[in-house]
Structure 1
């Protein structure tokens, strides 16, 4: 119910609602000295629930374990948010390694530029104004975006909770661009909701469903299409991966479908692609 009410607001209103909802907590943290100046205030975080620091550390392990990330790699973070994934990478990437991130939310990009790039010059953040009915009502179409990076520039690309908020035309374009900027044999780790992958039976009910059925993809909310989007596995494998010279190297089901939570999985499904 709260999720549906949240989606009734416009993108800018959603950000404001979150700031207001967490304002008492942020004030209390400042007054009591509990405020951690190395991370954003709670009201500024728009990149999902859960512990901000621990989520970043968990995904760093996923990057290393599943995506074969190395300290010397050149890394692209598609949808860099407000630094949740970038912060743990500052202590992992070596001087030979480097990071580029872009996002559509200006407050997140500005926070990262001020609090990360100033201390780590090999970390760069860009604002790219794109339309998305969850986060931004202004900007260009994501389905037409050309990433502002050179061909075969990156060893590793990752997207956390990005394709779960994009419709097929946008996702297809992003996968084309990911293939373009990846080096040969480079890896891409991305999270999805995959609605048709066969899992062992479990007594735990799925966290939520996708009632709006379009065949190869499903939506949670018809009014806010980017709220949450799920895809069919064959569509990901053939049209997103194979058609863009990528192959699925690993699939790690998430616990959103009812699997028991553990340290080796995320809420969302994880897919690792390799450029062939």
Structure 2
């Protein structure tokens, strides 16, 4: 139930330990319950999904999609065959880190009904997407979330206080290329890593009728809570109450 090391394309670290940690974050900060309907955006090769098989009950529903086909194939063979409430989809979206196709993330409509998920999450997905793509995903997340649902996602976010520091080359984890409301790590590969200015990102949330519930800085910018052991910044948001 663990992929071969050479097949894991979602970053370093202990596969099982990282998955368990992600589930812990979802329980603690996004109010995940064993009977929830869950959407895993950018599910990769099942790191969170595998850990969720031990937490979600038979009456729950898990849906995950990703643009890397081999991850979906592994999940279908090793998870979906054993857990019938887990479903995975390969969506061939264009991204300059993985593949170039005609299907753009900025126009992608999630293949799920309105108000259908209690919990939505994205780990290290928005850190590789352009603003127009992020805005579309936020719109879609707002659409598929139930009225009381929550979304937990990770970002690299900055403000005026740390912008000068992270803009310098060779200063740890840096984003030297300034754009309108965001900064790039690489000019040649725009999706390599992207940091968003907090003010701009929060405006995007408002446009999607989402409101921020929690903001937890990661350790990448040296302002996070080290005890959380999370590198990226964590944001939890929900639908605006009518």
Question: TM-score band (shorter)?
Answer: over 0.9
Q: Is the 8 A contact 2:119 2:150 kept in 1?
A: yes
Paired with 1:76 and 1:198, the residues of 2 have a C-alpha distance of 34
Larger CA Rg, structure 1 vs 2: 1
Give 2:22's aligned residue: 59
Residue 253 (structure 1) aligned to one of 217, 226, 229: 217
| Larger proportion of strand | 2
What's 1:141 paired with?
104
Question: 5 Å matches for 1:142-181?
Answer: 142-181=105-144
Indicate conservation of the 8 Å contact 2:217/2:225, yes or no.
Answer: no
- Which of 187, 193, 206 is residue 156 of structure 2 equivalent to? 193
Q: CA deviation at 1:264?
A: 2.1
Aligned partner of residue 158 in structure 2, secondary structure = coil
Select which of 169, 180, 183 maps to 1:218.
183
CA contact (8 A) 1:252 1:265 kept: no
Could you tell me the TM-score, scaled by structure 2's length? 0.92
Say which is worse superposed, 247-256 or 189-198, in terms of deviation.
Answer: 189-198
After the TM superposition, which segments of 4 or more aligned residues of structure 1 sit over 6 Å from their partners? none
Task: Give the superposed CA RMSD.
Answer: 1.6
Determine helix, strand or coil for the equivalent of 2:87: strand
Distance 2:157 2:11 in 1: 19
For structure 2, the 5+ residue unaligned runs are 163-169
Contact 1:253–1:265 (8 Å) recurs in 2? no
> How far 1:198 moved relative to its partner?
5.5
5+ long unaligned stretches in structure 1: 1-37, 200-204
